[in-house]
Structure 1
């Protein structure tokens, strides 16, 4: 049985706005509560759902955001950390600079490399204002004393310093850039998929070293999180979602219901319940518009719907 939604707020009072910040094309996307004057905690509440923080940082039966969830990978089992504002076991002592360094560059406040099971490789594309709004929301929550569990990974993967080499090969930091000539809705969807939603981290196959196979971006993999198969979400009509409409995608993100009336399960069920179901209808439609604007990639087994 799925966990009940851990947080609730009136998403009807939230709207998404696009603001192109510089002539070079750098983009900041703000989610502002109507009438709240851009309150960072209100924005952060929305963005925490968009970024999938709750599902990953809450153990089954555990307290929200207190970590402890086990994530099995080919390299070992990782345990997600406590991201409540407890000063001893959580992130309560982190500064804004610490938070941005972690999410944009995959480095702890002490300068240690994080493993890429933490999707800093996608969060690096998020606007700093959005990341700091997430921090504002997290720091407004009650602190939970919950010590982080050590990862269960063997040598040589246990040597964090080796992550510097991995980053040199597979990590390209930098903010999201909108696609020239694309509709604002498509660019908004691209930002949600590529940065906050980090969809490619699960829906893109990886090489033996754990780097994403960019040529197969979003084309699905048989070896996703916890060994689950993850579907192709490019608009290929045979192996992807080319037969779906924007409304079909938006409905799945809202309720978990596919066009054939089956429901998503497992990790994607949690993504919907604790993430995309809390987005505005406009943002869910933007995700659909972006996915259907991509080149189709034929990869994996044919699907019915």
Structure 2
């Protein structure tokens, strides 16, 4: 009887381990959700590169010289979970992503899965990129492959336990990775508003900073307070509420467009902090994209400040 009990206990342990393994295994994109190899257009991809602010995280410095940006890995992101280091995503086949297939790239961008099946930490905003179209992913990949290669080694993250257990991110993804649109727009919403929704909720990943998170900052974005502001990821200060009822409530669409292009507010203050890099990227977009983002920000629901809710 004792031996039988041991066998039953071991069986239960194996089943539990198998269940935990399955739950923490990231989910890859189905093959039909990835664009055809070679279909990407680098010229279109450059537009997405600026919309996504790739250089802000993955380049050692931005706007510091002439010539193409080198995506050798960016400055550290210090958070309450530890320090994240954005990796080398240059076209180098060893140190960067030059050897990745389009499918590898798409799975990293939209499912948070590395080429070897490892879950990626959500400091990389794949929860937003998940809303991008397969064609746009292919275009961005094509553009990245035109940029200079760098042999600089990516630095490892410096995370405290239990955040250092990468496998647990797979479970986080099962709960919080949702590619559905955040805001339900009316069917007759103007095209600029629809385009703005795609840019803000997808490649622009604005909600990653401008929306508070659930479960004390450990979870996904709190969509009930979409773009209503929240604590800065670095732990100091706060990110403003950019809904129609928030910190920019008295800004017009043209005020927003001008801010995106020039960095000047309606009262002639200038952009500061982490928004400097964002504004630099927005200024590189076509005018119609900046106008679309402004139209969307004025069309979404206003969110009352936390202390003003009924």
Do the aligned residues in 1 keep the contact of 2:41 with 2:139 (CA within 8 Å)? Answer: yes
> Paired residue for 1:45?
46
User: Equivalent of 1:188, from 195, 208, 216?
Assistant: 195
**How far apart, in 1, do the equivalents of 2:109 and 2:40 lie?**
21
**Local SS of the residue matching 1:227:** coil
Do the aligned residues in 2 keep the contact of 1:235 with 1:295 (CA within 8 Å)? Answer: yes
1:39, distance to aligned residue in structure 2 (A): 7.5
> Paired residue for 2:224?
215
> Paired residue for 1:197?
204
1:64, distance to aligned residue in structure 2 (A): 2.6
Q: Which runs of 5+ in 2 are unaligned?
A: 1-38
Name segments (4+ residues, structure 1) moved above 4 Å.
174-178
Q: Which runs of 5+ in 1 are unaligned?
A: 1-37
**Local SS of the residue matching 2:106:** helix
> Paired residue for 2:273?
266
Matched residue count: 262
The alignment's C-alpha RMSD in Å is 2.2
**Local SS of the residue matching 1:134:** helix
> Paired residue for 1:57?
58
- Seen in structure 2, the aligned counterparts of structure 1 residues 291 and 271 have a Cα distance that, compared at 3 Å, is same
Do the aligned residues in 1 keep the contact of 2:56 with 2:74 (CA within 8 Å)? Answer: no
C-alpha distance after superposition, 1:227-279 (max 9, x if no partner): 3421100000xx33221111011111111111111111121011111x10001
Do the aligned residues in 2 keep the contact of 1:223 with 1:229 (CA within 8 Å)? Answer: yes
Do the aligned residues in 2 keep the contact of 1:85 with 1:91 (CA within 8 Å)? Answer: yes
Q: Name which one, 1 or 2, has greater alpha-carbon Rg.
A: 2
- Seen in structure 2, the aligned counterparts of structure 1 residues 39 and 77 have a Cα distance that, compared at 3 Å, is closer
**How far apart, in 2, do the equivalents of 1:296 and 1:148 lie?**
41
> Paired residue for 2:32?
none
- Seen in structure 2, the aligned counterparts of structure 1 residues 177 and 289 have a Cα distance that, compared at 3 Å, is closer
**How far apart, in 2, do the equivalents of 1:225 and 1:130 lie?**
30
1:178, distance to aligned residue in structure 2 (A): 7.7
**Are residues 1:168 and 2:174 paired?**
yes
Range with bigger deviation, 39-48 or 116-125: 39-48
Scaled by the length of structure 1, the TM-score of the pair is 0.81
**Are residues 1:134 and 2:140 paired?**
yes
> Paired residue for 1:234?
243
Do the aligned residues in 2 keep the contact of 1:68 with 1:149 (CA within 8 Å)? Answer: no
**How far apart, in 2, do the equivalents of 1:39 and 1:159 lie?**
35
**Local SS of the residue matching 2:209:** helix
Do the aligned residues in 2 keep the contact of 1:221 with 1:300 (CA within 8 Å)? Answer: no
Do the aligned residues in 1 keep the contact of 2:119 with 2:170 (CA within 8 Å)? Answer: yes
Within-5 A mapping of 1:68-87: 68-87=74-93
Do the aligned residues in 2 keep the contact of 1:126 with 1:175 (CA within 8 Å)? Answer: no
Do the aligned residues in 2 keep the contact of 1:66 with 1:146 (CA within 8 Å)? Answer: yes
**How far apart, in 2, do the equivalents of 1:231 and 1:168 lie?**
29
- Seen in structure 2, the aligned counterparts of structure 1 residues 39 and 156 have a Cα distance that, compared at 3 Å, is closer
**How far apart, in 2, do the equivalents of 1:201 and 1:228 lie?**
15
Structure with a larger share of its residues in helix = 2
**Local SS of the residue matching 1:251:** helix
